[in-house]
Chain A
Amino acid sequence: MLRYVIRRLLWTIPMLLITSIIVFVAIKATTNPAALRGPGISSEDALRYREQLGLDKSGTEQYVIWLKNIVRGDLGISLETRQEVWPDLRSAMWNTVRLGLFAWLITITLGVTIGVISAVRQYSWFDNTSTGLSFVGLSVPPFFFGLVLQLVLVLKFQDWFGGTPFYTSQMNSPGESCGLCADRLRHMVLPALTIAVQGVAIYSRLMRASMLDVLSSDYMRTARAKGISERRVIVRHAVRNALIPVTTFAALDIGAIIGGLIITESVFQWPGMGMYFTSSFGDGDYARVLPWMMIVVVSVVVFNLIADILYGVLDPRIRVE
C-alpha cells in the first residue's frame, strides 16, 4: 500500500510540472498586458513596459523565473491593481471553500440518503419520484436555476410577502462582516442550493446504482442467511460496500470545488475564486491568473491522489497491487 502511494506521488510531480508549462503557455498566449495600459499608449512606452515586466526575455526564461518564484512562495504583483496577488487570492479561496464545503455537505447528506432509500425501495413511489427529480436536477443548468431561485425566493417573495429571508448577492449585507452568523447564512443559502441541486441529483443516482449493484450480490444473501436484522444487513453490508465508489467520487468532487463555482459565483456575485478568475482573465492580468490556475490544478491533483488512496483503504481487493 505504501509503495502504491509513493509511486503515485512520484508520478504527481512531473504531472504538475507539465501542467504548469501548459498553463503558462496557454495563459501567456491568451492575455495581452499591453492592452491594460490603454490603447493610446506610445510604442516606446509599450516597449519599456514590456521590459519592466520581463516580457522581452524568451518564453522559456520567463517560465523558469516564474516557476522559481512560485515555488518560493512569491506569487507576484498584479498588473492591474499593482498589489500583491496573494492576499486577494487567499480571501477568494477562503470564500469559495466556505461556500463550496457548505454546499457539498448538503449535497452528500441528501444525495447518499436518497440514493440508499431509492435502492432499497426500488420502483416504489419514492424511487420513481426521486429518479424523476434527479433527471430534472441534472437538466437544469446552475445559471438558470440560480436566476430562478433569485426570481422566486427573493424578488417575487418580496412582492408577495413584503420581505424575504434570502439575499441575491454578496456574502454579507452592507455593513456586516460576520462569519458564522445568520446574515452570512442567509446569503449562502441560495448559492448553496443552486450548487446542491445538480450535486444531489448526481450523488443520489450514483449511490442508487452502487447500492443496486451491491444488493444483487451473493454476499447479501449470505448476510441474510445469518439471521441478522435487515437494518444491519443494509447498513453494515450493503451501504458500507456501496459507499466505496461514491467516496472516491466525492474526493474528486471536493478537489474540483475550488475552480468549479465560476457560474454560481457569477450569478450571486459571490467574491470567490470564480469571480476572481473571470475578472482577472477578462483584464488580461496574467499575473493574477497564473497563480489561480496553479492552485486549482494542485487541488485537483492532490484530491485525485486522495481518492486513489481512499479507494485502497476502503476496498481491500485493491490493495493487492
Chain B
Amino acid sequence: MAVAQGLTAKPLSPSLLAWRRFRRHRLAMVSGVVLLLIGLFVFVPSLLTNFDQNQRDTAAVRYDGPSWAHPFGTDDLKADVLARVLQGGQVSLKVGMAVALISVVIGALIGAIAGYRGGWIDSAMMRVTDLFLAIPLLVILIVLTRLPERHDWAETVLGSKGSIRLIVTLLALFFWMQTARIVRGVILSLKEKEFVEAARALGASDTRILLRHLLPNCVGPIVVNLTLSIAAAIITESALSFLGFGVQSATQATWGNLLSAAKGQLESHPHMVLAPGIAIVLTVLCVNYLGDGLRDALDPKQQRTRA
C-alpha cells in the first residue's frame, strides 16, 4: 500500500498527547491512584475503622502500641490514633486543596493582568511580592495568627483564633504570589509572540486575547503550581500546628497538631509521632510525583530521546 511508504503518522490532539505522555510516568500514575485511595479513606473513615476521632475506647490501654483493634495504637485519651489520623487528614487535605485552589486562581489572574498590562499594576505586584519574599513565610504566618486575638475586625475578616478558616485565609493570602510570578513570566514571554499580534490584527480585545490565547498556554505551569501548592499548604499547615500556632482545637485533629501533641511522647510512645508523620510524607510525596508527571505531560516542548 502506497500509504505506508514514507508518510508520517496522523497528528493527535494536544490533550490526547498529554494524556499519553502522562501515562508513561508509572510513578505519577501510581501516585494518582494512591492519592485517590488516601482521599477515599480520609473522607470515608468507616472503611478502615469504626471509631470516631474523639471516641474513647474504654476497653483499650492508654498509649497502646499498634494492635488489631487499633492499627495505629491509642493515645492518652484512649482514642483510636488511626481514626484521629484519618479525620485529621480531612482537615489537612481540605486546607491543602482550598488554599491551593484559591491562591492559584487569584495568582493566575493577577499574574496574567500584571504581565499583560505591565505598567503600574506590574510594578506594584512585583514590589509587593518582593517585599513579602523578604520576610520568612513562617514568621509572617505566626505573627498574623495572633491578629484575630487582639482585633475584632481581623477576627471577622480572617477568621477566629485557631480556626481552620484563619489558616486557610492566611495561607492563601501569601501563596498566590508564587503562582502570580510564574504566570506573569509566561505571559511576558508570550506577549511578544506573533500569534498575539495576529489576534490583535484580527480585532480581538485584550480580554479575549488574555482569556482565549494567553492563559490556555499557561495551563501547564498553573496545574503544576496547583499540585505544588497543595503539597506546600499541607506542610505549612502542619508546621504551624507543630509550633502551636495552627489549628487549635481539643476535638478536631489535624496532622500537624497530632504531631505537636506527640513530640513529647517520642521516647515512650513513638507510634503517635510516626502515624501522622507518615501520613503527611505519603500524601505530599504522591502529590509531588503527580505534579512531576503532570509537568512532563503538559509541557509541549518536552522532548526526551531515551538512550
Interface residues of A (CB under 8 A from B): 15, 18-19, 22-23, 26-27, 29-32, 122-123, 135-136, 138-141, 143-144, 147-148, 150-151, 155, 256, 259-260, 262-263, 266-267, 277-278, 281, 293, 296-297, 300-301, 304
Contact = CB atoms under 8 A, between A and B. Distances in A.
Contacts of A148: 273-274, 277
B238 A281 contact: no
Contacts of B131: 15, 18-19, 22
Interface residues of B, number: 39
B136 A296 contact: yes
B288 A19 contact: no
Question: Which has the most chain A C-beta neighbours within 10 Å: B135, B144, B259?
Answer: B135
B135 A300 contact: yes
Nearest to A140: B281
Contacts of A19: 131, 134-135
B271 to A, nearest CB: 11
Given A144-B259, A151-B273, A300 B134 contact: yes
Nearest to B242: A143
Contacts of B292: 135
Contact of A30 (B144, B243, B277, B284): B144
A259 B150 CA distance: 25
A139 B281 contact: yes
A136 B280 CA distance: 12
Contact of A150 (B142, B231, B259, B266): B266
B266 A30 contact: no
Given A144-B277, A297-B135, A31 B243 contact: no
Contacts of B147: 29-30
5 contacts: A15-B131, A22-B131, A30-B150, A144-B273, A256-B136
Contact of B266 (A138, A139, A155): A155
Nearest to B130: A15
Interface in B10-34: none
Closest A-B pairs by Cβ, 4 of them: A30-B146, A139-B285, A144-B277, A139-B284
Nearest to B304: A123
A281 B239 CA distance: 17
B212 interface: no
Given A23-B135, A147-B263, A136 B238 contact: no
Contacts of A256: 136
A266 B243 contact: yes
Given A136-B285, A148-B277, A32 B135 contact: no
Contacts of A140: 281
A296 B281 contact: no
Given A155-B266, A277-B142, A297-B135, 9 more contacts: A19-B135, A31-B146, A135-B292, A139-B288, A140-B281, A141-B238, A155-B267, A256-B136, A297-B134
Given A123-B306, A297-B135, A301-B134, A278 B243 contact: yes
B72 interface: no
Contacts of A15: 130-131, 134
Contacts of A139: 231, 281, 284-285, 288
A138 B238 contact: no
A151 B270 contact: yes
